[in-house]
Amino acid sequence: MTRDDLFNINAGINVELASACAKECPNAMYLVVSNPVNSIVPVWAETLKKFNTYNPNRLFGVTTLDISRANTFASERFGMPVNVPVVGGHAGNTIVPLFSLAQPSIHLEGEELDKFTHRVAFGGDEVVQAKAGGGSATLSMAAAGAKFCESVLTALNGEQVEEIAYVVNTVAEKKYGTSFFATEITLGPDGIVDVKDTVANASDYERARVNAMVDDLRTQIKKGIDFVSSKL
């Protein structure tokens, strides 16, 4: 199956799901994992708009798996637990790990930095190849999805929670023309309460990677928007 086939099938299913949710649970938090996430989240936004139930603070593309990968690779390399923010999108070069902002701080440079950055961005392909036709990163996705769900549930319970997700992002829209962009967010009982400009604090290397991929991300977002215009 080509990426376009995957998009058309999953976009169609997600228009159906979003339409049903708009009617049955219009105030829910929607956590989208269907790939390609970069295009399917805009599919949800556009579909919900058609039903006048769209609330950008309650729609999330789940990119937690990218962060789990970055954390795992950095933790293995440095022999201690490391938290690495990962921003941008959720496909290949649009996934940009920000090792310069890792906590506790770590130092990667040169070829090693290139290698780690590439491995986070293309880790999904590595899993597909390792499973040799047996599927994709199903269990790690389940773990990542559960982690993000737990954050949303904690926020619904009244606590503010820091997370990273692919969400409507007015800063990125102004800077790059990308209406959606994965970044650090604060969650509260009604959804997103703050969207941070994580890239502003990143290294020159990381900001260059963001600048190099935004055309692709814009195209992928438009693909989702155009799909809904052609269907609804």
* Interacting residues with ligand NAD (CB under 6 A): 10, 13, 33-35, 37, 62, 65, 90, 135-138, 141
Q: Nearer to ligand NAD by C-beta: 34 or 178?
A: 34
Q: Which of 90, 101, 166, 187 is catalytic?
A: 90
Q: Which long-range contacts (CB under 8 A, 24 or more apart) does 173-177 make?
A: 175/199, 176/210, 176/211, 176/214, 176/217, 176/218, 177/214, 177/218
Minimum CB separation of residue 53 from ligand NAD in Å reads 19
Q: Cβ 148 to ligand NAD, closest distance in Å?
A: 9
Q: Which residue is closest to ligand NAD by CB?
A: 35
Question: Quick one: which of 57, 116, 66 has its CA closest to 90?
Answer: 66
Reduced to 3 states (helix: H, G, I; strand: E, B; else coil), residue 126 is: helix
Toward ligand NAD, which CB reaches closer, 10 or 93?
Answer: 10
Is 90 designated active site? yes
**Closer CB to ligand NAD, residue 37 or residue 59?**
37
DSSP for residue 136: S
SS3 state of residue 54: coil
CB of 46 to ligand NAD, least distance (A): 18
At a CB cut-off of 8 Å and minimum separation 6, what does 130 contact? none
Residue 104 preceded by cis peptide, ω within 30: yes
Distance (Å, whole) CA 189 – CA 151: 11
In the bound complex, what is the minimum distance in angstroms from residue 153's beta carbon to ligand NAD? 18
CB of 126 to ligand NAD, least distance (A): 13
Nearer to ligand NAD, 34 or 198 (CB): 34
Asked if omega into 81 is within 30° of 0 (cis), the reply is no
Query: For residues 33 and 108, which CB has a smaller minimum distance to ligand NAD in the complex?
Result: 33
Q: Residues with Cβ < 8 Å from 160, sequence gap 6 or more?
A: 186, 187, 188, 193
Specify burial of residue 113 (Cβ count, 10 A radius: 0-12, 13-18, 19+). middle
Which residues belong to the active site? 90
